[in-house]
Amino acid sequence: METRQLNLISIILMCSLTGVGQGIGFQGGIHYNHFYDYLKEQHSHVSTDYTSGIGFEAGINSSLVISPGFNLNLDLSLVQTTGDVQIISGSQGGGHRLVFHTNRYQLSLGCAPVEFKLHPTHAIEFGFRLNYLLSQKTEGAETSWIYLSPEKVTPITSQNADYLHPDWQAGLFLGWKKRKELSPTTDLLLFARYDFGLTREFNTSTKNYSMRLTLGVGLQKGKQEG
C-alpha cells in the first residue's frame, strides 16, 4: 500500500478517535516482545529459535464515558518491535533453514470495552487490538539443500521480505491503569498492559505467535465522570 494511503488511514483513525472521546491525551511506553511456537510438533524434524527484543510505542488515547462506572477506552499508537528468528527443518535427505533479524513499525488500534474500577484511581481493562504493518527492515538468509548437492542460499533483505510479515494482526489485551490528577482537567496515567496475539507473527512454516508486556505513562485531558 502506498504511503499516501497509509497517511490517509492514519488521519481518518486519529480524527475518529479524538472525535468521540471525552478524555483525550498522549501515551508512550516500552515493551518486551516474546515470540513462541503454539503446539510445537516435536516429531516434525523442525527446530526453532526466537530471540525477542525491546521495543517502544507512542500515540494518542481517548476515553468515552458510556455510563457511571463504565468507560470505553481507545488508543492509536505507532509500535516498533524487533527480534531474531531461526527455523530449521529437514532430515538427512535435505532441508531448509530460515534465519533473519527484523525491525518492524506497525499502526496499532486498541479498544477496551470492558473496564473494572478497583478504586477511584485504579482500573483493570480488557480489550482487543488490531495492528497494521507500516514498514519492515529485515536482513537474513534462506538456505535449502538436497543430499549430495550444493546449498542454495537466497539473501533476505527489506526489499524481498514482505512475504514474511502479515499485513494485519489481531490480539487481546489485559491492562492495569492508574490515574493521578494533575489539574481539574488533566490526569497523569501510569499503565501496564499484557498483549496476547491471536494471529501469526510471521508467515513461516511454523505456528508462531507473540506475547507482549508494555509499561508506559501518559497524559489525558478531559473530565472523567466514570
pLDDT grade for 3, boundaries at 50, 70 and 90: low
Strand segments, DSSP code E, in 38-147 are: 46-52, 54-67, 70-91, 94-119, 122-146
CB 114 within 8 A of CB 126: yes
pLDDT, tens only, 18-69:
445 567 889 999 999 999 887 665 556 788 889 988 999 999 988 877 766 6
Enumerate residues 6+ apart whose C-beta is below 8 A from 45.
89, 90, 91, 95
- Which structural domains are found in the chain, ordered by start? 3-221 (2.40.160.20)
Question: With the C-alpha atoms ordered 161, 164, 170, 172, is the resulting torsion angle positive or negative?
Answer: negative
pLDDT, tens only, 120-142:
889 899 999 999 999 999 999 99
CB 191 within 8 A of CB 175: yes
Q: How far apart are CA 166 and CA 182, in angstroms?
A: 41
pTM above 0.85, yes or no: no
